[in-house]
Every structure is written in C-alpha cells, then in structure tokens.
Structure 1
Amino acid sequence: MNMAADNREIARQVVEAIGGRENIASFAHCATRLRIMVYDQKKIDQKKVEQIDKVKGAFFNSGQYQVIFGTGTVNQIFEAVESLGMESTSKEELKSQAKKSGNPFQRAIRTFGDVFVPIIPVLVATGLFMGLRGLLTQDTVLAWFGATPDDISANFLLFTQVLTDTAFAFLPALVAWSAFRVFGGSPVLGIVLGLMLVNPALPNAYSVANGSAEALMIFDFIPVVGYQGSVLPAFFIGLLGAKFERFLRKRIPDAIDLIVTPFLTLLVMITLGLFAIGPVFHSLEEVVLNATTFLLELPFGIAGLVIGFFNQIIVVTGVHHIFNFLEIQLLEKTGSNPFNAIVTSAMAAQGAACLAVGLKTRNKKLKALSLPSAFSALLGISEPAIFGVNLRYVRPFVIGLIGGGVGGFMASIFQLEATGMAITVIPGTLLYLNSQLPLYILCNVTAMAIAFVLTWMFGFNDKMLEEVHSEAN
C-alpha cells in the first residue's frame, strides 16, 4: 500500500511539473520511459521533473516528453498516472501524434526505426545462435569433450544452419510485414509480398552473387533475382503497398473489397517490386553498404575513433535507429558486424562516467540515481545514465565520449566483429564467444577505465550538484 501511495504521489508530481493534466494530450510508456504528448512544451518545469523521486532523467524528443523511470518502475508509475483518472493511449497512437513534430529528417529516421525495431528481437536471437555455434565448434571447446571438428555430425550442422540462416533468408518478409503494419496496411499482405521476393522460383541472390546462378533478364535489360537478405526493396514495397492498399479500400465497394483489394495490391506491388523497386533500391543498398564498409575499413582505427566518440551524441538526438539498417546490412552481406564493438565501448564509457559520479557524490538521491543508471548502461541501455546524470553535469558526458572514442579506436585496431546486433556491453559478450572475447573485454574495460578515472578526477564534484540545485531554485 505504501509503495502504491508513493507511486501515486510521484505520478501526481510528474503531472503537476509538466503543466497539469490540461497540458497532457496523451501518454503511454515503453520499457523504460513514460512518454507524454503535451500541448505546450513551455509549461514543462524541467528542473522540477528531474528532482522527483525515482526519475532518472527527462527530455523532449521525437515530439514526446519522455521521463525515464527504468524497467519495472515505469509500469508502476504508468498505472499510478492512470489511477489519477487520466486516460492513456496506445504507443501506436502516441507515435502517430509524434510523427507530426520534428524536422523531415527526424521524422524519416523515426519512421525507419518504427519499421526495424520490431524485428530486432529475431535478429538478436539469430546473433546469439551464431555466437553459440561459433563457441561449440571451436577446437578448444571440442577438445574439452574429447572431440575434433571432424566429429561434428552433418545433421547437427544442418540444425544450427536452420537457426542461424532463416531470419536473414526471409528478411524481406519480416521487413515488408513491419512496413505494412507501420504504414497502415494489412500486415499479412506484407508477409506474402516479402515471401514473393524470396520465392525459390527466382534465382537465389547469394547464388547470383557468387556466380553459380544468373539473373533473369526481363525485356533484355531488367535483371530479376531473389532478394534474400535485402532490406530497402522490402521496405519501400511495404511503404508503397500499404498506401496503395488504403487507396484501393477507399474506392472499391465493400461487396468486392475482400477479393479485389488483396488481388490488385499483390499483383501491382510484386510487379513493381521485381521490375522497378527491387533493382533500383537494391543498387542503392549496395552503395550504402560499400560506403559503410569503406568507412569501417579506414586505417589506423579512424572509424572506431569517430563512431565511438559521436555515437552517444547521435543517441541524444534520437536518430540512432539508422544504425539498425547498417548493422542488418553488414550481417546479411558479410556475416559479421564491426559496428557493435565500437558502439558497445561508447555505451560502456557513459556507464563508467555515471558510476564515478555515483561513487563520488555524497548526495543520497544522486547516488541512488547514478548507480542503477550505470548498471543499466552496462546492460546496454545508456539513456538513464546520459539523461539522468551525465548530460545534467556535462563534463561526465564529454568524458564518456572520450572513453568511447578510445574504446572504439581499439575495437577498430583489433578488427572486432560481432556475430549479431542489438545487444551490447555485458549481454554483448554472447556475440564474441570465440577468440575475440578477451579483446572485446579489453576494449570495454579500457573505455570504462578512462571514463571513470577522468570523471573522478576532473568530471564531477558536489559543488556542481549545488550549482544545479541553485539553478533549479
């Protein structure tokens, strides 16, 4: 009862600090944050929000005011806000309202993220399967069981291949499904269109790439192949297909809608997909991949230094979902992901800077905020550390960027490559269950040590805390 009462009081304080219930258009929550659409951003008392108990940070992004509470806690606070008599909305409705805000680039990246984020769990699982297969087939590990690579049965390897290859072989179906869902079409049509793109009747994209098969030439100049592993063709087929389906539904009589709309949607979109959208955007995909590969292959660790330093700045801007597309492309085309180790160092450094603040401060509230936020960063969620602590005092954030740059530099020098994506720092070790693991740990420890030591020495003292409090008052 006391905890529930405390949560209701926190909810009441949050509502009051953002301008009262009359300033709230709608609200929802995700895994860590309460997401609120407000009518007037100027009515938000940022300092007051940040001083509320259990609040780990708050910021305005993607058209939403986002208050970080952390996993578990956010669900309780959300229910407490509802108990005040306020009506919540779904995340989809909230996103629909948020899409109207921000500049065109931010809106485009946000939409891109809405499409790719739902399929990331499958790709995470696939990456873990790859890592486990790599671990179980190592000579050293096999030797523990008195076996050699020759002792591994073909059936076992086939089973692991099913686990590791399926998601990428049918990636267009996942992308087209998600795009149809985001853009208001029937997801099942997206699935079928995506499956059509990888139909076995078409020349396999991998076989065409290695020269063992040839593309079909339509009208003697349009190359047609399967789109195994492709992303952009499926994305744009999903986008245009959903809009075309909605266009048809508004104009076709209800009596024949069930028959005509799916028929025309599939016919028109697969024709455009194979003969126009696919070839054009697959070529663009190759350009993006080549540019990314060129950047990552720059000598002297330049890529790691630059990406490691700027990654968390990009997180602050809210457009970091663009990296999902790049990582998916790298995994699909090369079977590895050099981005992961670099980004991991950047997150680990922010966590270490936050940890230094928590251990150095004598303020109980800041300590209670910093230590869980630092641990959250080490589990791969750096926003509580960034927005709740490091950005508030600036220096820890900048020092975290430096640590991330050094760790990313080392990751590039060592040429670390993950077997998957979307999990980082401590959980990310599962993507390096091979000879890379010691170097992966070294990069992260180095980034953390630099961020921790520099923050402890130069980045924070309790006088800064007093200055922030005086500004709030």
Structure 2
Amino acid sequence: MTEYRKIAEELIDAVGGRENVHSVAHCATRLRIMVNDKEKIDQEKIESINKVKGAFFNSGQYQIIFGTGTVNKVYEEVSGLDIESMSASEQKKEAVKSGSAFQRAIRKFGDVFVPIIPVLVATGLFMGLRGMVMQEEILALFGMTASDVSENFILFTQVLTDTAFIFLPALVAWSTFRVFGGTPIIGLILGLMLVSPSLPNAWDVAGGNVEPIYFFGFIPVVGYQASVLPAFIAGIIGAKLERVIRKRVPDALDLIITPFLTLLIMIGLSLLVIGPLFHMVEQGILDVTTTVLSWPFGISGILIGGLNQLIVITGVHHIFNMLEIQLLAQYKSNPYNAIVTCAVAAQGGATLAVALKTKSAKLKALAFPSALSAFLGITEPALFGVNLRYGKPFVMGLIGGAAGGFAASLLQLKATGMAVTVIPGTLLYLNGQVLQYILVNVIAIAVAFALTWMFGFSDKAKKEVEQVQ
C-alpha cells in the first residue's frame, strides 16, 4: 500500500466512512469533501493523519489542507476508492445551497470578482516593472534619461497597464452575468457598451476637458471606464431580466429576441438610471475608503493590519476585492495591499516561532511548510493548522500585523496591483518602494515571531490545548 493510499483510507474512515461522503473535489491546496452528516467527522483523528495541515468547515464543504502537489496525489487515491468526485466548480454549486443568506451572498460576490483578479495582478506587475524601468537610477545604468525613452515604448507600456482598467466594466458585467445565470457574452457586450467610444470618456469628464451628455436636460451620461459598481448592478439585473425574457419567448425566436430585448432594455437602464446613481454610490465608497486609509498616525494601518486575518477566517474577505479594484482603477495605486500583506506575513512569523520552539517532530513538519506558505501569501495552512489551533500564536500574529500595518501606513506604501502579498508581492513595489516594503514585512514578522516565542507558545501549553481538544 502506497503512502497516499494509506492517507486516503484513513481520511475517508475519519470523516465517517464512504457512506457519509457525498462528493470529493480539490483546489490548489485543499481537499474539499461534502459530507452527509458532519457529526460523524472525527476532527482529532483527521488532524493526526500524516501530511494533514489543518481541517475546517467553510462554504458547506469540509476542507482539509494538504498543500500544493500533495493534495493532487491524495485526491487521486481518494477517487480510486469509488468515492464520487466532482470538479471544484461543480461542488461549489452544490455548496452554494448551504449556509445563511449572507454567506451565500458573499460567496456570489467572491465568485464575480475572483476570476477578474489574475488579469489585474498581471496589470499590477506590468505597472511595477514600468515603474522600475523608468526610474532615473535604472535609466542611468544605460546612459539614458526619461526624455530618451521612445514614445513607442511608452505607448506599448500603456497598452499593457491601461487596457484592463479601460474595459473593466466589460469584465465585471461578463463575470456577473456568468454567476447570476445569464449569458456571459451578453454581459460582455453590455459592459463594452458602457465604455463605448461614442460616449464622453469618464477620465476626460473628470478632468474637466469634456462635458457629459445630458438626457432630458438633467441626467448626465458618460462612459464608465474603470468603474465597477454600475457594471456589477447592471450585470445582476441584466442576468435576471434575460432569464425572465427567455421564459416568455418562443424557442424559435429565442436566439433573436432574448439578446435584443435584454441589451436594449439594459443599456437604456444602465446609462440613464443605474450608471448615474451607482456611480455616485461608488464614488462615496471610494471617498470613505481613501479617508480611512489616510487617517493620521498610522491608525488605519493598525486597524486593518490587526483585523484582516480575523476577517479572513469568516470567509467574507472577498468583499474587499471590489475596493482594491476601485482604488487601482481610480488612482492607479493600492495602499490597502501593503497593510494586508503585513497581516499575512505576521501569521507566518508566528507559525515560524512555533516551528522553531516546539520539540514535537510532527508539529515542526506541519509548521515549517505552513510558515513558508504564509510568506508566499497563503495563510490558511498557518491559520487553521497551527495558529488558531493553539490560540495565542494567532493573537500574536494579529499584533504583528497591526505593527507592520502601522509602519506601512506611516510610510504611505502603495502597490501597483492587488492579490499577491509578502514575497510575491515585492513585484508590486518596484516603483521605488521595494526597500520600504521589505522593511514593513520584516517588522510584522519580527513582532509576531518575538511575541509568540516569548509569550505565545510552549510545548507545555501545547499539551494542555491538545488534551482539551
């Protein structure tokens, strides 16, 4: 029997046997099991299985953390035990039926924005690289100044850095239609209509160079370049409208009538009602966000850095994706990322302290890779496998996050992108801030590490916790 087959069999036995397993799927780091009766799960037995780094319930799924690579091998062996397997997306659809209305709403919100994030990450990296290349010190190495850079090169970099934000409403409307049961291509076209070159450009209007078009003498109509909320609301209403129309149109005419009526009604509604109204709401949200982030004496850094990982545990942190997207679209910078990355790094620092201080070989084998995972921007193994399990390391991580966030706020760090943190996040600060970025991460890690080492963990406390568990 192979090592991974043994893990698979022990795992299925610990979750209540094959009859208690509805389906199994996996993501990059976790095995996701939907069970029929959660009371039959033996949590202690699962956490004692080799290579398991933690396990918890979230979004209607029992999620067992194995880490990249390992989870694929375990999943193959579990599938070989005649357990029904699903793709992660199929299982997510099943899981969506569970949980409170608020949890389901947050999941849908995340489902809309998460697929957009990779292109915004890439755009942020392009911005960071352009910022590095255009620094006088870098140009001087090649005997150049900013005036020596060709216009064609500048144009090329603008294509890389501006395209995703110019057409952001199209991406948002496409993804919203997809999640809310509409036809994605209709959503895409609706989003493109919102940034049509026939409309006054939003940035030109904001700069005072162009006047909006006024319908009925009082409704301002502009393009919605780099806007998020109007496209999101239009996508929800449009997807539901399409489904209503489709139910009432004869099948023979569906191909023609449904998209025609959906786009006709929605572009009118979007430009005349949804756009003007929710653009004001969006601007209000941005104003509040920037006000909080600009609070003096590092207050915002302390609050956000200290509370971020508490929010991550609840699973509602995806709601902040929209705020980061709005910050980047409006200001081409993201001060939120620098603070959050300290919260992530600090949990890694707390876990590293546990790994170095404990004499338990099993805990060391769990904590070292979990700390590394946190330093690469993924805190779940550290949170659920180590810090939350023993309590105090998590609290020390929160304090470290607040300390790092405080420094990041004082230094006014601003990322060129989003969604990547700690070591990979360095690429978002190549615009002359990389040393400050490293400094705030070191502060977060050092504070969390020192506090955990001195006050947050001991093998004696570990035994007491495990006896209670």
Q: Same fold (TM over 0.5)?
A: yes
SS of structure 2 residue aligned to 1:250: helix
Q: CA deviation at 1:465?
A: 2.8
Partner residue of 1:69 out of 50, 59, 66: 66
Determine whether 1:232 maps to 2:238. no
TM-score by length of 2: 0.98
Structure 1 segment 177-216 matched on structure 2, within 5 A? 177-216=174-213
SS of structure 2 residue aligned to 1:165: helix
**What is the distance in 2 between the residues matched to 1:81 and 1:252?**
46
Q: CA deviation at 1:94?
A: 2.0
Q: After superposition, what is the alpha-carbon deviation per residue over 1:265-305, rounded to whole angstroms, capped at 9, x for unaligned?
A: 11111111111111121111111111101110111100000
**What is the distance in 2 between the residues matched to 1:165 and 1:182?**
26
**What is the distance in 2 between the residues matched to 1:375 and 1:170?**
36
Determine whether 1:130 maps to 2:122. no
Determine whether 1:139 maps to 2:136. yes
Q: Check conservation: 2:129, 2:431, Cα contact below 8 A.
A: no
Q: CA deviation at 1:77?
A: 1.4
Q: Quick check: 47-56 or 385-394, which moved more?
A: 47-56
**What is the distance in 1 between the residues matched to 2:100 and 2:214?**
41
| Corresponding residue number in structure 1 for 2:111 | 114
Q: Check conservation: 2:347, 2:379, Cα contact below 8 A.
A: yes
| Corresponding residue number in structure 1 for 2:307 | 310
SS of structure 1 residue aligned to 2:248: coil
SS of structure 1 residue aligned to 2:348: helix
**What is the distance in 2 between the residues matched to 1:454 and 1:414?**
24
| Corresponding residue number in structure 2 for 1:416 | 413
**What is the distance in 1 between the residues matched to 2:257 and 2:229?**
27
**What is the distance in 2 between the residues matched to 1:315 and 1:358?**
23
**What is the distance in 2 between the residues matched to 1:13 and 1:465?**
24
Q: CA deviation at 1:149?
A: 0.7
Partner residue of 1:446 out of 434, 443, 447: 443
Q: Quick check: 27-36 or 312-321, which moved more?
A: 27-36
| Corresponding residue number in structure 1 for 2:386 | 389
Determine whether 1:32 maps to 2:32. no
Q: After superposition, what is the alpha-carbon deviation per residue over 1:159-218, rounded to whole angstroms, capped at 9, x for unaligned?
A: 000000000000011111111111122111111111111000001111111111111111
The letter for the 1-side match of 2:254 is D
Q: CA deviation at 1:26?
A: 2.4
| Corresponding residue number in structure 2 for 1:291 | 288
Q: 1:91 to 1:246 in 2, by over 3 A?
A: farther
The letter for the 2-side match of 1:80 is E
Q: Percent identity among equivalent residues?
A: 67
4+ runs of 1 displaced by more than 4 Å? none
Q: CA deviation at 1:468?
A: 3.7
SS of structure 1 residue aligned to 2:33: strand
| Corresponding residue number in structure 2 for 1:347 | 344
**What is the distance in 1 between the residues matched to 2:320 and 2:44?**
32
Partner residue of 2:51 out of 51, 54, 57: 54
Partner residue of 1:461 out of 449, 452, 458: 458
Q: CA deviation at 1:99?
A: 2.2
Structure 1 segment 90-109 matched on structure 2, within 5 A? 90-109=87-106
**What is the distance in 2 between the residues matched to 1:51 and 1:333?**
48
**What is the distance in 2 between the residues matched to 1:332 and 1:243?**
27
Q: After superposition, what is the alpha-carbon deviation per residue over 1:229-288, rounded to whole angstroms, capped at 9, x for unaligned?
A: 111111122112222222222222221111111111111111111111111211111111
Determine whether 1:269 maps to 2:238. no
**What is the distance in 2 between the residues matched to 1:48 and 1:281?**
50
Q: CA deviation at 1:435?
A: 2.5
The letter for the 2-side match of 1:386 is L
**What is the distance in 2 between the residues matched to 1:108 and 1:31?**
24
Structure 2 residue ranges without an equivalent (≥5): none
SS of structure 1 residue aligned to 2:62: strand
SS of structure 2 residue aligned to 1:321: helix
Q: CA deviation at 1:95?
A: 2.1
| Corresponding residue number in structure 2 for 1:149 | 146
**What is the distance in 1 between the residues matched to 2:240 and 2:36?**
29
Q: Check conservation: 2:21, 2:83, Cα contact below 8 A.
A: no
**What is the distance in 1 between the residues matched to 2:447 and 2:468?**
30
| Corresponding residue number in structure 1 for 2:169 | 172
The letter for the 2-side match of 1:263 is F
Q: Check conservation: 2:408, 2:437, Cα contact below 8 A.
A: yes
| Corresponding residue number in structure 1 for 2:19 | 22
The letter for the 2-side match of 1:114 is D
**What is the distance in 2 between the residues matched to 1:99 and 1:291?**
31
SS of structure 2 residue aligned to 1:28: strand
**What is the distance in 1 between the residues matched to 2:48 and 2:345?**
25
Q: After superposition, what is the alpha-carbon deviation per residue over 1:109-142, rounded to whole angstroms, capped at 9, x for unaligned?
A: 2111100000100000000000000000000011
Q: Check conservation: 2:344, 2:379, Cα contact below 8 A.
A: yes
TM-score by length of 1: 0.97
* CA root-mean-square deviation: 1.3
The letter for the 1-side match of 2:213 is L
Partner residue of 1:398 out of 390, 395, 398: 395
Q: CA deviation at 1:41?
A: 2.1
**What is the distance in 2 between the residues matched to 1:72 and 1:194?**
38
Q: CA deviation at 1:408?
A: 0.1
